[in-house]
Amino acid sequence: MLTEIEQKVLYKVLKEEPFSELETELMNRMLYLDEEIRHEIDKRNEVEEQLADLFKETRKKMKEVKK
């Protein structure tokens, strides 16, 4: 994944340098895919947090039942 600084540098370079259409399209696609990856990772992290919360809640209830 690109860091925020890398993204900004890439955008700046895209604006200033004369690239071919293909090069520009490839760089744009790379930026798009990077954003998609970030989105998927965020979703995965959210689900992992939900699973951890569910696990903690289940353990707590199991301990209460054993008492």
Euclidean distance between CA atoms 56 and 49, whole angstroms:
11
Asked whether the beta carbons of 31 and 6 are under 8 A apart, the reply is: no
Q: So what's the pLDDT on residue 18?
A: 80
What's the whole-model pTM score? Answer: 0.61
Tens of pLDDT along the chain (67 residues) come to 678 888 788 777 777 778 788 888 888 898 899 999 999 999 999 999 999 999 999 999 998 888 7
- Spatial distance between the Cα atoms of 25 and 67, rounded to a whole number of angstroms: 63
